[in-house]
Structures are given as C-alpha cells and as structure tokens.
C-alpha cells in the first residue's frame, strides 16, 4: 500500500498549532518559571550548584511518580506507593545496619518486598474485586504500622556508604547519579508505553476493560503486573531515599504521596495531553520543584511547598482544560 498524502482541509494548521501549544505548555511554563527566578536571584538561583541539587534531590519523587503512573494508566490507583517506599527504605536500613546484611542483598530484598506488596494489592483487587483505592489505602496503612514496628519508631542511620556513593556522592556533569536513575527509568517507561505491545495493552485495559477483554487481552494479568511493577518501583524510590541521606526515618517519606499524584496529573497535561505519560511526569516534577526552590530562596516559609504543589496542580490542569475547551477529562 502506497502512502498518498490526502489533501488536508485548510483549517488544520490552526488546530495543529493549538495542539502543539497544549503539548509544550508545561515545559514552556517551566522555562518561564526558571527565567523569572533567574532574574530575581541571579547569584543564588542561577548556579550550577542549585540546579544540580534540585535535579538530584528530586529523583525519589520522580521514581515514585513513575511508579504510580503504571497502575494509573491501567485504571487503578496505588495509594500504598509512598508506604512501600518508606517500608522499603526502612527494611534496607534495618537489614543493613541492624542485621548486618551486605548492602546488595538489602537492596534486592527491599525491591522484592516492594514487588510482593504490589502482588498483595493485586490479589485483593483482582480476586475479591475490591476497588483499588480501598485495598491500597488499607495495605499502605498496614505497611506504615509495619515500618514503625520494624524501626521501633526511630530513625535508623548508618546505611552503607557504598549506596550513598552510588546515589548522591558520585556525579556526572556535576549532577548526582540519582537524577540519571530517574531519567533512565522515565526513558524506559516512555519507550515501553509508546513502542511496545505491553504498553498498548496497558492503555486499552485502562480505557476500556471490556474492549480489551474482547480483544483477547488477559485484563487481570495486565492489572496484576502493573501493581507488581508499581510496588517494585516504589521500593526502588525507597532505596534511593535511603541512599540520599544514608538513613531511613519512619514517616517523612509518606508526605511524597500527594506530590507524586500531583506530578502524574500535571504530567498528563503535557507532551501527550490527556494521557498519563512518563516524560510529562518528569517535567511535572521539575516544574513543581523549581517553583518551590525558587520561592524558598526568595525567603518564603516552608508552607509554600504545599501551597505551590496544590495551587500549581489546579491552575495548570485548569489552563489545559481551557485549551481543550473544557471537554470532560478522560484520563488513562
């Protein structure tokens, strides 16, 4: 079959232009935000030091947001991701520091535990047909308790420096390696979602379960896999989290859950608007963190974080809806 270019109606350029604007609005907003803070704080904000610390420190959030993106695409919520992150970090710290396991073994064990937690989510969601919000909320709370039990509610410090080396101390172009892990994961996910059959299946399962089933997709297997992947990736975020500081504390990581969802939804307004997508999520995370870093440097209080996460999410999604002429959203 030869490809003959069909004559296009002349209205197309306008629509195409608008579509492109919508796709790149968030990256452009990010650059604008960067420019504004750069002008206001040329000496402190516009330094490689600030930039590299910003890029490095948010790798945990990037990985966590990518983790919840998988079940979001297949139509499920994973509210247990941050709890898996914290439990994974804590298990790594306790097994490495307290039980003297080699760091490699601790990392592998943490990842397996994350995958297992995902499998537990999948079992209850798929076997008992309970909504994923309920199951993952329950498992997350349960894991929070396990974390406190395991750690005796204390921060465990002294995780092997090997891990810390590999996460923040080693740098490439002056940026901690953690950033590149997040970047690599986003790239792999982008490829998997755009260029593999599994990615298409994930999308169909999320958008139309019955359609997917009647087209020969094993819907339950796809959903189970996405929970397991989400659990394992959340645990990977936990490993990075422990590697950032060489320690694990039983609660602070839990506050990452809502920013991760904010970044995922924000990301769904960019690059491939209307779809959860890894590159958009990456931009979403760094857009949020640029704003927060800049405002903090301008002397804003700590509460500005929440103001900016929440405010930016609503404003950005609303603007993207204006571009789409307020059509109802259908994410997936």
Partner 1 sequence: MAGQATDRQADDPGGVLRLTDIRMRFGPVEVLKGVSLNLRRAEILGLLGQNGSGKSTLIKVLAGFNSPSEGSGVTLWGDTLPLPLDAARIRRMGVAFVHQHLALVPSLSVADNMLIGDDRRRGPAGIRWRRERAEMRALFDEFGLAIDPSALVSELSSVERAFVAILRAVAQLRRSEAGAAGEGILVLDEPTPFLSAEDVDKLFTLLRQIRAKGASVIIVTHDIDEVLAITDRVAILRDGELDALMVTAETTRQAILDRIVGRSITPFRRAPAQPRPEIAARIEGLSGGQLQHFDTTIRRSEVVGVTGLIGSGFAEIPYLLFGAMQGAGQVTLDHALDVAAITPRAAMAAGMGLIPGDRTHQSCVGGLTVEENATFLQLPRYRAPAGLRRQGLVDAARGMIRDYDVRPDRPEVAMSTLSGGNQQKVVIGKWLAQDPRLLLLDEPTQGVDYGARQQIFAALDRAVAAGTAILCASTDAEQLAQICDRVLVLRRGTVGAVLQGDQLTRDAIARACFHDPAPQNATNLSEATA
From 41-49, 83-91, 139-147, 205-213, span contacting partner 1 (CB under 8 A) = 205-213
CA separation for the pair 322, 252 (Å, rounded): 36
Query: Minimum distance between the CB of residue 11 and partner 1, rounded to whole angstroms?
Result: 4
Query: Minimum distance between the CB of residue 270 and partner 1, rounded to whole angstroms?
Result: 17
In the bound state with partner 1, the residue whose beta carbon lies nearer, of 218 and 306, is: 218
Query: Minimum distance between the CB of residue 15 and partner 1, rounded to whole angstroms?
Result: 8
CA separation for the pair 272, 297 (Å, rounded): 32
Out of 153, 218, 255, 318, the only residue in the binding site for partner 1 (CB under 8 A) is: 218
- Which residues, including other chains, have CB under 8 Å from residue 316's CB and lie 6 or more apart? 26, 29, 266, 269, 287
Does position 129 interact with partner 1 (CB under 8 A)? The reply is no
CA separation for the pair 111, 136 (Å, rounded): 18
Out of 134, 191, 252, 298, the only residue in the binding site for partner 1 (CB under 8 A) is: 191
Query: Minimum distance between the CB of residue 218 and partner 1, rounded to whole angstroms?
Result: 6
Does position 138 interact with partner 1 (CB under 8 A)? The reply is no
Measured in whole angstroms, how far is the alpha carbon of residue 96 from the centre of its chain? 26
CA separation for the pair 202, 54 (Å, rounded): 32
Out of 156, 203, 271, 282, the only residue in the binding site for partner 1 (CB under 8 A) is: 203
Query: Minimum distance between the CB of residue 8 and partner 1, rounded to whole angstroms?
Result: 8
Query: Minimum distance between the CB of residue 227 and partner 1, rounded to whole angstroms?
Result: 21
Which helix (H) or strand (E) covers residue 81, if one does? helix 81-93
Does position 220 interact with partner 1 (CB under 8 A)? The reply is no
CA separation for the pair 231, 81 (Å, rounded): 6
Identify residues 250-309 at the interface with partner 1 (CB under 8 A): 274
Neighbouring-strand partners of residue 157: 247
Neighbouring-strand partners of residue 175: 172
Per DSSP, the three-state class of 131 is coil
Does position 196 interact with partner 1 (CB under 8 A)? The reply is yes
In the bound state with partner 1, the residue whose beta carbon lies nearer, of 149 and 191, is: 191
- Which residues, including other chains, have CB under 8 Å from residue 320's CB and lie 6 or more apart? 22, 25, 269, 270, 273
CA separation for the pair 66, 233 (Å, rounded): 8
Does position 23 interact with partner 1 (CB under 8 A)? The reply is no
Tokens of 83: 């709890």
CA separation for the pair 314, 323 (Å, rounded): 14
Out of 109, 137, 148, 200, the only residue in the binding site for partner 1 (CB under 8 A) is: 200
For residues 159 and 103, the answer to whether their CB atoms sit within 8 Å is yes
CA separation for the pair 221, 206 (Å, rounded): 13
Out of 33, 207, 317, 323, the only residue in the binding site for partner 1 (CB under 8 A) is: 207
In the bound state with partner 1, the residue whose beta carbon lies nearer, of 15 and 133, is: 15
Query: Minimum distance between the CB of residue 210 and partner 1, rounded to whole angstroms?
Result: 5
CA separation for the pair 44, 55 (Å, rounded): 16
Query: Minimum distance between the CB of residue 75 and partner 1, rounded to whole angstroms?
Result: 11
Please report, as ranges, the residues that interact with partner 1 according to CB under 8 A.
1, 3, 6, 9, 11, 15, 191, 194-197, 200, 203-204, 207-208, 210-211, 213-218, 274, 330, 332
């Amino acid at each position: 079959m030869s490809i003959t270019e069909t004559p296009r109606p002349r209205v197309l350029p306008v629509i195409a232009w608008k579509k492109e604007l919508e796709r790149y609005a968030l990256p452009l907003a990010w650059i604008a935000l960067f420019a504004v803070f750069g002008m206001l704080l040329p000496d402190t904000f516009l330094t490689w030091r600030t930039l590299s610390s910003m890029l490095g420190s948010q790798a945990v959030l990037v990985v966590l947001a990518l983790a919840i993106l998988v079940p979001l695409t297949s139509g499920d919520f994973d509210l247990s991701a941050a709890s898996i992150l914290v439990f994974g970090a804590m298990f790594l710290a306790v097994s490495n520091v307290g039980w003297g396991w080699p760091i490699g073994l601790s990392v592998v064990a943490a990842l397996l535990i994350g995958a297992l937690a995902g499998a537990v989510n999948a079992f209850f969601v798929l076997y008992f047909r309970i909504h994923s919000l309920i199951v993952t909320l329950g498992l997350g709370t349960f894991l929070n308790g396990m974390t406190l039990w395991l750690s005796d509610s204390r921060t465990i410090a002294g995780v092997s420096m090997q891990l810390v080396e590999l996460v923040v101390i080693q740098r490439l172009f002056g940026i901690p390696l953690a950033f590149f892990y997040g970047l690599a994961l986003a790239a792999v996910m982008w490829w998997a979602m755009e260029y593999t059959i599994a990615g298409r299946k994930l999308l169909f399962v999320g958008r139309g379960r019955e359609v997917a089933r009647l087209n020969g997709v094993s819907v339950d297997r796809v959903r189970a896999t996405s929970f397991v992947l989400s659990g394992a990736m959340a645990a990977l975020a936990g490993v990075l989290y422990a590697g950032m500081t060489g320690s694990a504390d039983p609660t602070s990581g839990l506050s990452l859950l809502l920013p991760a969802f904010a970044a995922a939804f924000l990301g769904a307004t960019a690059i491939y608007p209307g779809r959860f997508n890894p590159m958009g999520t990456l931009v979403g995370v760094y857009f949020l963190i640029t704003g927060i870093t800049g405002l903090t440097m301008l002397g804003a209080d700590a509460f500005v974080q929440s103001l900016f996460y929440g405010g930016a999410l609503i404003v950005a999604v609303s603007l993207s809806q204006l571009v789409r002429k307020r059509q109802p959203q259908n994410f997936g």
